[in-house]
Structure 1
Amino acid sequence: MDTQDAPIEDGHDEATSNEKIDGVAQQMRGDDQLGHVDDLRSMARQRLAEAGLPVDDATVDAVVDAVRRP
């Protein structure tokens, strides 16, 4: 059984979809810089799905482009 062992912080669910997508891209950029990414598109699909975000081609492309942007 899952339990709530810590308080939920105010604002935890207030991020917009675009802010969440930006957050996924930032996390992936860090992973990529550390050499932990074999396939950006596959990772983008996985991370977006885990975050409950759209996994359509346009969103995946936007994340991959953001990761590759300096």
Structure 2
Amino acid sequence: MVVRVDECKGCGCCVDVCPRNVLELSKDLNRMGYHPCVYLGEGCIACGFCFYSCPEPGAITVYVKEEGE
């Protein structure tokens, strides 16, 4: 998964719906002055909950890993 921090407005919807708790709001501000969502680096199961809950088009992209990746 990829979070484009400069597209995120820090609403936290994705953090709230993530079943694996692999997202959190950053303490740092993005260029728009929001605390963006950040991916903690591992554990994403590509369920898409974050993508579908996000009100900002293009802020979150979820990739499904193929077997063996």
TM-score by shorter chain over 0.5: no
User: Could you say which structure has the greater relative contact order, defined with CA pairs below 8 angstroms and 6 or more residues apart?
Assistant: 2
TM-score normalised to structure 1 length: 0.25
TM-score normalised to structure 2 length: 0.25
Indicate the structure (1 or 2) with the bigger Cα radius of gyration: 1
